[in-house]
Amino acid sequence: MEPATPSRLFRLGILGSGKGSNAAAIADACADGTIPARVAIVLSDVENAGILERARERKVPARFIHPGKSRASLDGPAEAAYVEALRAAEVDLVVMAGFMRIIRSGLLRAFANRVVNIHPALLPAFPGLEAWKQALEHGVKMTGVTVHFVDEGIDTGPIIAQATAPVLPGDTPQSLHARIQEVERRIYPTVIAALARGRIRVEGRQTIWQP
């Protein structure tokens, strides 16, 4: 993953399925120079997803690509279409922002060590869906978010950064999720900026931040 240079701006490809709050935060951070990069393309597996509208509002190319027949992941032809679109946009980093599909080996090979995700819990605690509900059900007093590289497991890739969010008395799933999302919108642009500057490297399961 080559860092940004004066002659070429680092390019991001964002994948998402939902409203796109993280994608919007990332695009805005690119626009104001906080992240030395540009969002080259936004792709969604949901035709009317809010993330596509948020991208278009910001003049970012945005496309729906049908995910295929699988409910949990992209099927073979769909995965190939996503890889083709990301390559055509010449992206340096694939950013998952609420993408509700398991990423398969084909895309991971095409962008080896260049796919990142944000998870609404302090991994390895509460992997999988609706992690904020899992946190409430277990009665923890503190949860948070994790930014990690994506591998072929579910929320098992090398951890890049984590930040905490308190679980408060009287929290509902909705109130806790909203608090976690506030933390997400702070930490994700920070990590992506460091990646764009070439300040993060991976050694086995460890990620190392360089000054």
Q: Report d(CA 195, CA 116) in Å as an integer.
A: 10
Angle, CA 22 vertex, CA 18 and CA 28 arms, to 5°: 125
Catalytic residue among 119, 138, 148, 177: 119
- Rounded CA-CA distance 164/180 in Å is 8
Half-sphere exposure of 74 (CA within 13 A, CB side): 27
Quick one: DSSP state of residue 72? S
- Does 119 participate in catalysis according to the annotation? yes
Eight-state DSSP code of residue 62: E
Closest CA relative to residue 146, chosen from 166, 167, 164, 173: 164
Tokens of residue 119, six digits: 């998870």
- Alpha-carbon span 73 to 107, nearest angstrom: 11
Active site residues: 119
